[in-house]
Amino acid sequence: MDITYEIIRSWKDTDGNVNSMQDIMNWIEERKKNLHVNIEKVDFSYNGFWYYDENTGYIRNENNSFFQLAGYQEIENDRIIGEQPLIIQNEIGYLGIICKMIDGELNFLMQAKIEPGNVNVIQLSPTIQATKSNFTRQHGGQSPDYLNYFINSSRTRILADQIQSEQASRFYKKRNRNIIILIEEDVPVLDSHRWMTLGQIKECMKMDNLVNMDTRTVISCLPFDLTDISMKEAGKLFNDEALFGSIFCEPDKDAERRIFNALNDRKMFRRDKSRLLPLRSLKGWKMTDKEIVCRTPYDFKVIYCRIEIEGREVNYWEQPLFEACGISVIGTFSCVSGGVRKYLVRVSEEMGCFDTAELGPLVQLGPTADRKSMTELEKLFMDKLEKADENRKEADVILSEEGGRFYHEQNRNVLLEIDEKELPALPADHFFVDLATLNDMIRFNNCVNIQLRNLISLITIK
């Protein structure tokens, strides 16, 4: 079996052969109706189960599990150039999807999962989405469903298995294990899970806030390695020859070398320094019983919530969450060059990045972004987006970030077509690359950031 060809066939099928799209939407609505959920913002005493540790200056819980909140500063020439709270979660969790050939078609086992920060309660999640604290039962609850399939993944066919970064604007060096396994045996399907084709998942990604960040990052790791025999047949499934060429051309090794050169230069010659420090030492932030908030406009604040969710490993708990102060814009340009579709990417730094810099999209603009501080290319993108008609947009959708740590955090994700002639000369750390090259680079841990991986996951066969 040529698994890449089966992935493409599954991608092409937006109707489904196990569950129809209507079945999927009915199932999600039924889950929403029947599961009790109550998320309430409450005051934070700083000395309860979650407390301010006077020894470290971090907020942690009594079990010293899950995560902590710390202060973070970047310093250049003895001057603070940036500071904020960050989430420290020094453990690698599972983001895993089980797939299986069912009646001749590849299906993915997806979960309708409730997270406390979800803007719309339920979102489509991977088969398993569990921190190490979850699956080692630090909360005292049950083990996550389907965990054993991933604990014993070496006995299955592994389609992807990578340690990938999380949102470095909120997390400090956080990573998760993105893994996709192909199962031949029968898999029990719980009420919380349903089989879907890749095409159905991609259709759901066109709907605001329906597919969560964890699904998107795992899907971006799918491999595309066609044999010569199946190349011709796969090509018949594409109407867009430039997109087909982008996915199945040979990776541009020269572009990869130039990208790694730019990444390594940034890591080697970056002059500013950074440090973790007590939250109360953040000069520009204040801690109240309601929130931890910046004294000037900022992209987020920290709140505290009491949470009740039926059907979780634990049904009741309290925790801090990062609340977004508006909607961010994540996006980039694409163009057809030499008959192949290419995407504009750049070297990107964020405060909590695991290794200083990763490859990211052109635009990562938070809700408080000031046009005066934008680059020429960022301004061009925002101008083009404002005027673009729908046929110039490969994707334009509002999608949520990780609901287990972030409260109502949404991004507008945009892939916007442009004529290459409209672009100014690119800076040395910007590159136009095809999807084959990006797919090749995603196989390296901590190389392509989560914003770019999420955008890649939105691409559909037209």
* pLDDT tens-place string over residues 433-457: 999 999 999 999 889 999 999 999 9
Report the pLDDT averaged over residues 4-23: 96
Instruction: Please name the residues in contact with 431: beta carbons below 8 A apart, sequence gap of 6 or more.
Output: 255, 258, 259, 262, 344, 345, 346
In a domain, 284, yes or no: no
Residue with tokens 């405060």: 351
Instruction: Tell me, yes or no, whether 126 lies in a domain.
Output: no
pLDDT of residue 8: 94
pLDDT(161) > 60: yes
DSSP 139-201: TSSPPPTTHHHHHTGGGSEEEEEEEEE--TTTEES-EEEEEEEE--S-----TTEEEE-HHHH
State residue 227's pLDDT score: 66
In the chain, pLDDT over 90 holds for what percent of residues?
80
pLDDT score of 1: 74
Condensed to tens digits (0 to 9), the pLDDT of residues 407-434 reads 999 999 999 999 999 999 999 999 999 9
Angle at 182 between CA 176 and CA 186, to 5 degrees: 120
61 within some domain: no
More confident residue, 45 or 24: 24
What lies within 8 Å, CB to CB, of 293 at 6+ separation is 285, 286, 301, 302
Which of 118, 332, 108 has its CA nearest to residue 208?
118
CATH number of 342's domain: 3.90.79.40
Question: What pLDDT is stored for residue 291 in this prediction?
Answer: 97
Alpha-carbon span 210 to 208, nearest angstrom: 6
Q: DSSP secondary structure string, 332-372?
A: EEEEEETTEEEEEEEEEE-TT-TTSEEEEESEEE-TT--GG
Has residue 140 got a pLDDT over 60?
Answer: no
Asked, for residue 333, whether it belongs to a domain, the answer is yes
Q: 262-312, pLDDT tens digit by residue?
A: 999 999 988 778 999 999 999 999 999 999 999 999 999 999 999 998 766
Query: Does residue 436 fall inside a structural domain?
Result: yes
Chain length of the chain: 462
pLDDT band at 226 (very low <50, low <70, confident <90, very high): low
* Residue 217: closest CA among 42, 404, 56, 450: 450
- Residue 133: pLDDT over 90: no
Is 226 part of a structural domain of the chain? Answer: no
Share of the chain above pLDDT 70, in %: 96
Instruction: Work out how many domains the chain is built from and give that number.
Output: 1
pLDDT(151) > 70 = yes
Angle at 446 between CA 451 and CA 213, to 5 degrees: 35
158 neighbors 150 (Cβ within 8 angstroms): no
Whether the pLDDT of residue 139 is over 90: the answer is: no
Q: Is the pTM of this model over 0.75?
A: yes
Per the prediction, the chain carries an average pLDDT of: 93
Between 229 and 1, where is the model more confident?
Answer: 1
pLDDT at 362 over 80: yes
Higher pLDDT, 69 or 355: 69
> d(Cα 75, Cα 185) in Å, to the nearest integer?
54
Q: Which pLDDT score, from 0 to 100, does residue 135 have?
A: 67
Q: Does the residue 411 lie in any domain?
A: yes
User: Residue 424: which domain range?
Assistant: 246-272+325-457
Both structure tokens of 333: 């340009």
442 within a domain of the structure (yes/no): yes
